Amino acid sequence: MNKKTIEDIELYGKRVLVRVDFNVPIKSGVITDDNRIVQALPTIRYVIAEKGKAILFSHLGRVETAEDKAKSSLLPVAKRLEELLGQPVKFIPVTRGEVLESAIAGMKNGEVIMFENTRFEDIEGKKESKNNPELGLYWASLGDVFVNDAFGTAHRAHASNSGISTHLPAVAGFLMEKELRYIGGTVDNPLRPFVAILGGAKVSDKIGVIENLLAKADKILIGGGMAYTFMKALGHNIGTSICEEDKIDLAKSLLEKAKGKIILPVDLVVTKEFANDTPFRTTTYGDIHDDEMGLDVGPKTIALFKKELKGAKTVVWNGPLGVFEFANFAKGTRAICEILADMKDARTIIGGGDSAAAAIQMGFSDKFTHISTGGGASLEYLEGKALPGVESLDDAEPCNCGCGCNN
């Protein structure tokens, strides 16, 4: 990675603005998955240990109305962070103004504060998500240095990342650095064989990823709803399964371009209703009834994918293989978790989003080399796109070894 990291700057006594990604699921005031908070702890603890003044901020959901605002406070997150850190986290319930400025002015070295949801600034004029220059400048005025540890929003140019970076020394936190190293570094310089697994509902969501990986991966295994568009492109009946009719020709061209690299399912689990408790059966693509839809891959596909993964040294997975939210149609996704968990000699990376949620929900959170905290950011990075939140960070100094590296 050719960007400066938190270890490249002096933090002692500094007001350290840390953009974290605490966009966690909250139901009835209770956080149901704190993985993103846990993943940010190394950066926060480093600021504390270096006697910096940690000023944390994040977004939480989309905030466009007063009703959204009422249910999107970061207060529950601040309380959970306080528990995980084992020290006080002072919560400031505003995004700007005298109360926030006074709290920061009164901070001592090693203390932590968190201010309110940055998206509250979107209620009028979308100042945060539209990267309003005045807002970026204001937030930058609150600190001496900026640490971006929010990979999950790195694909967006917002006031809380790109806007602040314009005015302060800007570096990557440990989580950001880890995400870039594992996702970008692994895809660009993989140990081979390199196998990619792609799932999810739509081909359109993964077009760029497929095209980028065709040039880099040795095999691409495709499951989930997007597989049905490919199967229809091959002339198979897919019943009422999800399909992007306007992407069938694209699917054909991708299969031609792949020259055998793309591996598709050979059987599937079908049902007549989109529900967990409806009757279901396993069949092949030659025996789907017109009123049936596929909601998971079948056992023969699992066996095929396991065979294709055997001996792989690098595996990147993005997107579930079925409707994992329904227990009866989660077997394919669980099987992939189990297969990858057993690949002790391989570098296994889950590229965020629903596949990451499934792996964590099924109890495999510590069984992979890396589980990304970013959904959209992971997808765009897998496509090979430049991420605004990363591009705006300060470049690292070339090393003195004469090789031109940044280590």
> Is there a single domain that holds both residue 266 and residue 120?
no
Instruction: Give the distance between the most distant pair of CA atoms in the chain.
Output: 70
Task: Give domain status of residue 392, yes or no.
Answer: no
The pLDDT value recorded for residue 376 is: 86
212 CB neighbour count, 10 Å cutoff: 18
**Residue 388 in domain:** no
**Residues 221, 286: one domain?**
yes
Question: 96 and 170 in one domain?
Answer: yes
Based on the fold, state whether residues 111 and 229 are members of the same structural domain.
no
Contact 113, 56 (CB under 8 A): yes
Q: Are both 230 and 289 inside the same structural domain?
A: yes
- What pTM was estimated for this model as a whole? 0.90
The domain boundary residue, chosen from 174, 199, 233: 174
Residue 313 within a domain:
yes
Catalytic, 208? Answer no
Query: Total domain count for the chain?
Result: 2
Catalytic residue list contains 202: yes
What is residue 1's predicted lDDT score, i.e. its pLDDT? 64
Structural domain boundaries, residue 152: 6-174
Residue of 4, 36, 247, 261 with catalytic role: 36
Model pLDDT, residue 352: 75
Inter-CA distances, 272 with 283, 284, 290, 295, Å? 13, 16, 9, 10
353 annotated active-site: yes
Q: How far apart are CA 153 and CA 340, in angstroms?
A: 27
Residue bearing tokens 């059966």: 281
What's the pLDDT score for residue 397? 83
In this predicted structure, what is the pLDDT of residue 354?
87
Residue where a domain stops, chosen among 147, 174, 201: 174
Q: Which of 174, 193, 212 is the last residue of a domain?
A: 174
Residue 61 lies in a domain: yes
pLDDT at position 279: 97
- CA gap 202, 182 in Å, rounded: 25
Q: Exposure of 397 by Cβ count < 10 A (0-12 exposed, 13-18 middle, 19+ buried)? A: exposed
- Report if residue 394 sits inside a domain: no
Q: Judge if 264 and 349 occupy the same domain.
A: yes
Query: Are 164 and 189 in the same domain?
Result: no
Are 239 and 366 part of one and the same domain? yes
Residue 225 and residue 258 in one domain: yes
Residues 226 and 147 in one domain: no
Question: Do residue 195 and residue 253 come from a single domain?
Answer: yes
Place of tokens 């109305």: 65
Q: Is residue 396 part of a domain?
A: no
* Annotated catalytic residue, options 202, 252, 300, 313: 202
- pLDDT in single tens digits along all 407 residues of the chain: 689 999 999 999 999 999 999 999 998 889 998 999 999 999 999 999 999 999 999 999 999 998 999 999 999 999 999 999 999 999 999 999 999 999 999 999 999 999 999 999 999 788 999 999 999 999 999 999 999 999 999 999 999 999 999 999 999 999 999 999 998 888 889 999 999 999 998 898 899 999 999 999 999 999 999 999 999 999 999 999 999 999 999 999 999 999 999 999 999 999 999 999 999 999 998 899 999 999 999 999 999 999 999 999 999 999 999 999 999 999 999 999 999 999 999 999 998 788 998 999 999 989 999 999 888 889 899 988 999 999 999 999 876 655 555 55
Q: Is residue 204 part of a domain?
A: yes
Please indicate, yes or no, whether residues 99 and 201 belong to a single structural domain of this protein: no
225 is catalytic: no
CATH number at residue 43: 3.40.50.1260
Which is the catalytic residue, given 110, 184, 208, 376?
Answer: 376
SS (H, E, C) the chain: CCECEHHHCCCCCCEEEEECCCCCCEECCEECCCHHHHHHHHHHHHHHHCCCEEEEECCCCCCCCHHHHHCCCCHHHHHHHHHHHCCCCEEECCCCCHHHHHHHHCCCCCCEEEECCHHHHHCCCCCCCCCCHHHHHHHHHCCCEEEECCHHHCCCCCHHHHHHHCCCCEEECHHHHHHHHHHHHHHHCCCCCEEEEECCCCCCCCHHHHHHHHCCCCEEEECCCHHHHHHHHCCCCCCCCCCCHHHHHHHHHHHHHHCCCEECCCEEEEECCCCCCCCEEEEECCCCCCCCEEEEECHHHHHHHHHHHCCCCEEEEECCCCCCCCHHHCHHHHHHHHHHHCCCCCEEEECCHHHHHHHHHCCCCCCCCEECCCCHHHHHHHCCCCCHHHHCCCECCCCCCCCCCCC
Could you say which of 353, 374, 375, 389 is catalytic? 353
| Assigned domain for 400 exists | no
